Amino acid sequence: MKILVVDDEQDVRTLFEQRFRREIRNGLFTFSFAYSGEEALDYLHGHASEVVLILSDINMPGMSGLELLRHIRQEYGAPPPSPPQVMMITAYGDDDSRQQALALGANDFLSKPVDFAALKEKLLHLTEHEN
Amino acid sequence: MEVNASILISVGIAAIIVRSMRQFLDLPTRMPHLNRLLGYFWVPGLLLYLFSLLIQWKTDRLDEIYTLLLMVMVVLVLVRVQDYRPARTILLAVVPYVAYSAIELLSGSLSNSFLREYKGLFSNSQGFAIIWLVTFVLIARKQKKQLEAERVRREAEEKERREIAAQNAVLERMVAERTSSLTLQTEELQHALEELRTTQAQLIQSEKMASLGELTAGIAHEIQNPLNFVTNFSDVSAELVMELEEEQQRPERDQELEAELLADLKQNLQKITHHGQRAASIVRGMLEHSRASTGERQPTDLNVLADEYLRLAYHGLRAKDKSFNATLTTDFASPLPKIEAVAQDLGRVLLNLFTNAFYAVQKRKEQGETGYAPTVRVATRALPGGGVEVRVHDNGTGIPETVRQKIFQPFFTTKPTGEGTGLGLSLSYDIVTKGHAGTLAVETEEGQGTEFIVTLPG
C-alpha cells in the first residue's frame, strides 16, 4: 500500500521510515514524502493511481493541508481509480479544524503528537480491507 | 447810671471775644475744663456792676476794668494753650494792647492830668497796639489756616496710607491664596506626571506582554513539534535497541542489520539533540522577550533573528485564526555582517512588523479576492559601510495616505478597540532610531501592500 506523507518537517521522513521499518521491509507499506501542499499535488499528478492513502499535516506554510484536501477532492473526486483516503494531522486538535476537515472530505482526523501504535493499527486495518 | 450800664456793652463784646476764642482755639476739645470756666466770663462784669451800684460809685472806668480783667483772662487762657502756635501768635498780638490798656487804666485812675499831658503818646500807643493786634491776629488766622490745611492733608495722607495698607493686606492675602493654590496645583501636576510615567512604564510592559500573549500559541506550536520529535525518536530508538538485542541473541547474527540499526540509533540520538536544542532555543527566546531589556549590545545575526520571529509571529496569528494561511518567503543575504544590537529589542521590532504584515494580508484575504495568495517576505541586505537593511514586505491592504502620517504616533491604531495598544510601531520606531541610531521607513500602496525598511548602522 502506497502512502504519501505531507509535512513541512523534514525529519518526519526518518521518523516514519523507522516507525514502520518492519512493514516497509516486509513490503507491506511504501512511503513517499512531500514537504508542502504544492509538492504533494505535483507528486499526485505523476502517481495518482498508486497512492492509496495521504497523511497530511494541516499547518504548513503556503498551501495548507485543508487546501490540499480541497484540491484532491476536486481533482480526484470520482473513480476510476478509487479516490485516495486522506487523513489530516494537526497540532491544534480543535473541533473547528476537525469539522472543517471532515466537511472537506477527510476520512480521518489525527492530532499531534501522533500515536504511532494506533496509526499502525488503522493502516494495517486499511491494508486488510484493501486486500 | 447810664455810664455804669456801658459795662453791658463790654459784656456783649466779651461774649463775642469768648465765642471767637473758643472757636479759634478749638477750646471745647483742646481744654474742656477751661472752656467751661470761660462760660462764667459775665460774672465779674455783673459783680462789678452790682458793686458799683452798692457803693454808689459813679465812674466811666468800670467797663475798662472789666475789659482789662477780660484781657487778663484771655492772656491766661492763651498762656495755657501756648503749645498751639496760633495761640502764641495771638498772645503776642494782645500783649501790647493789654499792657497799654493796663497802663492807661492805671495812670487814668492815679491822675487824669498825666493822661491828658501824654494824650498824644497814649493815642499813638493805642493805635500802634491795635495795628499790632490786628496784624498778629491776621497772622494767627493765617497760621491756623495753614495748620488746618496741614492737618487736613495729614489726615488725607493718613487715610490714604490706611487705605493702601488695607489694600496691601488684601493683596497679600490674595497672593498668599494664589501661591498656595499654585503650590497645590504644582503638587497635583507633579503627582499626575508621576502617575503618567508609571502608566507609561506599565503600558510598555503590557504592550510587551500583549505581544507575548500573541506569541504564546505560536511558541506552543513551535515547541510542540520538536518535543514530538524528541519523544518519537526516543521511543523508536528503544524499539531499535530491543531489535538489536534480539538480533544479538540469535545464533546467526546479521552483521549488516546490526550495523544498520546502530547507524539509525546514532542518527536518532543526533535528531533528539537537535530537536531538544530547537525547543530550548524557543523557550530562551520567549524568556528574553518577556524579560525587561538589559540594553546590552551584542553581535547579532539578523538573519537568525528575523527567521525566528517570522515563525513565531506566523504561528501566533495561526493560533488565533486557524483558517489563516500565508506564504512566508525569506531572502537572506549570506554572509550578513553581524551588528552590535540589543537582540531582544530588535526582536520586538521585527515581531511587531511581522504581526502587522500578517494582519494586513489577513484583512485583504477577508475581502474575498479570488486568486489572492497572502505573502509575507523578509529580506536582508548588507549595506556599504557595514550596516544592515531588513525589509519586511507584505501584499496586504496597504496603508491609506491619511493614516500614513500617524502610524508612528503612540496610541494610534486602526485596529478595533481592545485589539491593539497603538504602541507597537511607536515603540519600534524608538528602538530603531533612538536605541540603535538606525532608520525605520515605510513604503506602501493602498490595495497593493506595504514594506517596512529597517536600516541599522554597523
With contacts defined as CB-CB under 8 Å, which chain B residues touch A13?
none
Tell me the one-letter amino acid at A127.
T
Pairing between strand B449-456 and B439-445? Answer: antiparallel
> What is the overall mean pLDDT for chain B?
85
- pLDDT (mean) for B190-201: 90
The yes-or-no verdict on residue A131 having pLDDT over 70 is: no
Specify which of A124-128, B154-158, B282-286, B317-321 reaches the highest per-range mean pLDDT.
B154-158
Per-residue pLDDT, averaged over A66-82, amounts to 77
Radius of gyration of chain B (CA): 61
Confidence grade of residue B11 (pLDDT, cut at 50, 70, 90):
confident
Tell me if A84 sits within 8 A of A54, measured CB to CB. Answer: yes
Q: Which of A14, A94, A100 sits opposite B271 (nearest CB)?
A: A14
Is a pLDDT exceeding 90 seen at residue B262? yes
What pLDDT is recorded for position B452? 95
What is residue B15's three-state secondary structure? helix
Q: Which residues contact B357 (CB under 8 A, 6 or more apart)?
A: B376, B392, B393, B394, B396, B450, B452
User: CA-nearest residue of chain A to B274?
Assistant: A11
What's the pLDDT band for B200 if we cut at 50, 70, 90? Answer: confident
What sign for the dihedral angle of Cα B265, B266, B267, B271? Answer: positive
CB within 8 Å of B456: residues ≥ 6 apart: B302, B339, B341, B346, B387, B388, B389, B390, B432, B436, B438
Question: Is A19 an 8 Å CB contact of chain B?
Answer: yes
Residue B43 phi, psi dihedral angles, 5° rounding: -60, -50
Domains and CATH numbers, chain B: 2-117 (no CATH), 297-458 (3.30.565.10)
Residue A81: what pLDDT?
Answer: 59
- A91, pLDDT greater than 80: no
| Chain A contact for B229 (CB, 8 A cutoff) | yes
pLDDT at A79: 52
Domain ranges, residue A54: 2-130
Which residue has better confidence, B184 or B12? Answer: B184
pLDDT at position B149, please?
Answer: 92
- Give residue B458's pLDDT: 82
The residue among A59, A71, A99, A104 with the most chain B CBs within 10 A of its CB, best to mutate, is A59
B21-32 confidence digits (pLDDT tens): 888 888 888 888
Q: CA B406 to CA B414: how far, in whole Å?
A: 10
pLDDT tens-digit readout, B47-68: 877 887 787 766 667 777 888 8
Contact at 8 Å (CB) between B457 and B340?
A: no
Lowest mean pLDDT segment, chosen from B128-137, B193-202, B360-369, B412-421: B412-421
Phi, psi of B377 (to 5 degrees): -125, 140
Mean pLDDT within B82-95: 86
Dihedral sign of CA atoms B341, B344, B348, B351 in order: positive
Residue identified by cell 489726615 is B155
Which residues touch A35 (CB under 8 Å, ≥6 apart)? A6, A7, A8, A10
pLDDT in tens, B351-394: 889 989 998 998 898 888 888 888 999 999 999 988 999 999 99
Q: Where on the phi/psi map is residue B447: left (φ > 0), alpha (ψ -120 to 50), or beta?
A: left
Distances (CA, A) of B393 to B88, B295, B439: 112, 28, 16
The answer to whether residue B1 scores a pLDDT higher than 50 is: no
Average pLDDT over residues B228-253: 91
- Contact between residue B262 and residue B244 where contact means Cβ atoms under 8 Å apart: yes
Q: Is the peptide bond before A81 cis (omega within 30 degrees of 0)?
A: yes
Band of the pLDDT at B172, cuts 50, 70, 90? very high
Work out the average pLDDT over A54-74: 86
Note the Cα A102 to chain centre separation in Å.
14
d(CA B285, CA B309): 9
Q: How far apart are CA B141 and CA B121, in angstroms?
A: 30
Residue of A nearest to B324 (CA): A64
Residue of A8, A10, A12, A14 to mutate when probing chain B, most B C-beta within 10 A: A14
Shortest distance, CA A123 to any CA of chain B (angstroms): 18
- In this model, does residue B456 exceed pLDDT 50? yes
User: Which residues, other chains included, contact B412 with Cβ-Cβ below 8 Å and sequence gap of 6+?
Assistant: B406, B422, B425, B426
H/E segment holding residue B282: helix B255-290
**Under 8 Å between Cβ of B454 and B432:** yes
Give the CATH number, domain containing residue A17.
3.40.50.2300
Is B354 an interface residue toward A (CB < 8 Å)? no
Q: What is the pLDDT, as a whole number, of residue A9? A: 87
Residue range B30-57: mean pLDDT, rounded: 80
Neighbours of A5 (CB within 10 A): 21
Which pLDDT belongs to residue A61? 72
**Residue B232 with chain A: CB contacts under 8 Å:** 15, 19, 113-114, 116
Q: Of B221, B232, B319, which has the smallest distance from its Cβ to A15's Cβ?
A: B232
d(CA B9, CA B269): 154
Of these ranges, B2-11, B142-151, B210-219, B285-294, the one predicted with the greatest mean pLDDT is: B142-151
pLDDT digits (tens, 9 = 90+) for B104-132: 878 777 777 777 777 788 888 888 888 98
Q: What is residue A126's predicted lDDT score, i.e. its pLDDT?
A: 85
Nearest residue to B234 (alpha-carbon basis) of B262, B260, B268, B278:
B268
d(CA B306, CA B163): 80
ipTM: 0.85
Structurally, chain A folds into a number of domains equal to: 1
**What 3-state DSSP class applies to B340?**
strand
Per residue in B269-308, pLDDT (tens digit) is 999 999 999 888 877 766 666 665 667 888 889 998 898 8
Rounded CA separation B236/A68 (Å): 29
To the nearest whole Å, the CA of A51 is away from the closest chain B CA by: 25
pLDDT over 70 (residue B5)? no
Cα separation, B393 vs B48, whole angstroms: 136
The three-state (H, E, C) secondary structure of chain A, written as one string: CEEEEECCCCHHHHHHHHHCHHHHHCCCCEEEEECCHHHHHHHHHHHCCCEEEEEEECCCCCCCHHHHHHHHHHHCCCCCCCCCEEEEEECCCCHHHHHHHHHCCCCEEEECCCCHHHHHHHHHHHHHHHC
Type of residue found at A53? L
What percent of chain B lies above the pLDDT cut of 90?
Answer: 31
- Disruptive mutation site among B221, B229, B322, B327 for chain A (greatest number of A CBs within 10 Å): B322
Cβ proximity of B289 and B215 under 8 Å: yes
pLDDT in tens, A5-53: 999 888 999 999 999 988 998 999 999 999 999 999 999 888 878 888 9
- Return the bridge partners of B379, or none: B331, B391
**Mean pLDDT to the nearest integer, B421-433:** 84
* For chain A, percent of residues with pLDDT exceeding 90: 27
Q: What residues does A108 pair with on adjacent strands?
A: A87
CB B378 within 8 A of CB B331: yes
For residue B121, what is the enclosing H or E element?
helix B119-249
Contact B271, B295 (CB under 8 A): no
